[in-house]
Amino acid sequence: MTTDTHYVGRFAPSPSGPLHFGSLIAALGSYLQARSQHGKWLVRIEDLDPPREIAGAADNILRTLEAYGLTWDGSVMYQSQRHGAYQAQIDQWLHDGDAYYCQCTRKQIKTAGGFYPGTCRHLHRSAENSAVRLNVDTPITYFVDRLHGRIDIPATLAQEDFIIRRRDGLYAYNLAVVLDDIEQNITEIVRGADLIEPTGRQIGLYRQLQHPEVSYLHLPLAVTDNGNKLSKQNHAPAIDKSNPVPALIAAMSFLGMAPPAALIKEELKDVLQWGIHAWCIDNLPKTTEIILTKTH
């Protein structure tokens, strides 16, 4: 297959547990979109939050992707190796007056109505025991998703000066993901609809960095009949590395594709090849959640 370097997609799991069916949907959707464009598909391990990580999970995730035939291009990026880049950008913004130290607690913000009102913006707090917030002077009030169309962002959320480094010294997801996507030359992000809410902030970061923003496509989430999304936190079962074809076909059906019954008997590579040729954004369910009829 020829590679079109103009399209670069990615799958970026956190190592907080094994891949489950919900993870497979995100991985497969981003993979099929990239491969159908003859583009690159990268993998990044988002190991930003050590307290939530499980030993061995990152390697298990990579072995699972390999078992499912979802082979990536290039080397795997690890956010834990990117701290220097995150800090350098924060230092630049602090120097330029585009970011500031904040010592407000969650309790104080909750008392203020649940959204941060900019309390510390002009107070010149010290770095000790402080989070770092970015000045949001030009709020992103909406964006256009490739599946869902225009998505409006509540004003209170859009206007909030958000955290880019936490009080405990850990770097914020929004900052890391944008700097990494720029570093990896990502052109489009295909991910689950649970990440719609921070998209406005991420677009704001692209503009703050004077870098062209990517396009976004948020896939429907798999939810149980009680309304909970499949997630590691909700103890969703790991997908089977020893028998990948049934789960792949189930994920394709979930994504609005119509795999023929005979596909279950095909080799893994042929199943994926069918998926690449059959993939079409127009066939994706235009919803943010789909209730699973059975447990995967």
CATH number reported for the structural domain that contains residue 64 in this entry? 3.40.50.620
List per-block mean pLDDT (blocks of 10 residues) for the chain, which spans 296 residues: 71 95 96 97 97 95 98 98 98 98 95 92 96 97 97 94 97 98 98 96 97 97 76 74 97 97 97 98 94 66
93 and 143 co-located in one domain: yes
Query: Distance of CA 290 to CAs 90, 198, 233, Å?
Result: 39, 21, 19
Domain assignment present for 206:
no
Element containing residue 208 per DSSP (H, E): helix 199-208
Is 216 assigned to a binding site?
Answer: no
158 and 39 co-located in one domain: no
Element containing residue 278 per DSSP (H, E): helix 268-278
Domain assignment present for 150:
yes
Instruction: For residue 44, report the phi and psi dihedrals to the nearest 5 degrees.
Output: -130, 135
Is 116 assigned to a binding site?
Answer: yes
Separation between Cα atoms, residue 184 and residue 294, nearest integer Å: 37
151 and 284 co-located in one domain: no
Is 11 assigned to a binding site?
Answer: yes
Separation between Cα atoms, residue 204 and residue 135, nearest integer Å: 10
Domain assignment present for 53:
yes
Domain assignment present for 149:
yes
User: Which pLDDT value is given to residue 230?
Assistant: 64
For residue 93, give the nearest of 190, 216, 209 by alpha carbon: 209
User: Which pLDDT value is given to residue 221?
Assistant: 95
77 and 93 co-located in one domain: no
Rounded to an integer, what is the distance from CA 162 to the centroid of its chain? 18
- Are 240 and 268 in contact by the 8 Å Cβ rule? The answer is no
User: Which pLDDT value is given to residue 67?
Assistant: 98
Residues 6+ apart with CB under 8 A from 264: 245, 246, 249
Is 46 assigned to a binding site?
Answer: yes
For residue 22, give the nearest of 226, 239, 227, 225 by alpha carbon: 239
113 and 162 co-located in one domain: yes
Look at the chain and report how many structural domains it folds into.
Answer: 2
User: Which pLDDT value is given to residue 293?
Assistant: 72
Is 280 assigned to a binding site?
Answer: no
Is 215 assigned to a binding site?
Answer: no
User: Which pLDDT value is given to residue 233?
Assistant: 60
Place of tokens 């050590």: 50
107 and 236 co-located in one domain: no
- Boundaries of domain holding 59: 8-81+183-192+213-291
Is 120 assigned to a binding site?
Answer: yes
30 and 49 co-located in one domain: yes
Is 220 assigned to a binding site?
Answer: no
131 and 113 co-located in one domain: yes
38 and 165 co-located in one domain: no
105 and 35 co-located in one domain: no
Domain assignment present for 3:
no
Is 173 assigned to a binding site?
Answer: yes
- Are 57 and 15 in contact by the 8 Å Cβ rule? The answer is yes
Rounded to an integer, what is the distance from CA 159 to the centroid of its chain? 22
Domain assignment present for 296:
no
280 and 187 co-located in one domain: yes
Separation between Cα atoms, residue 146 and residue 40, nearest integer Å: 19
pTM of the predicted structure, to 2 decimals: 0.93
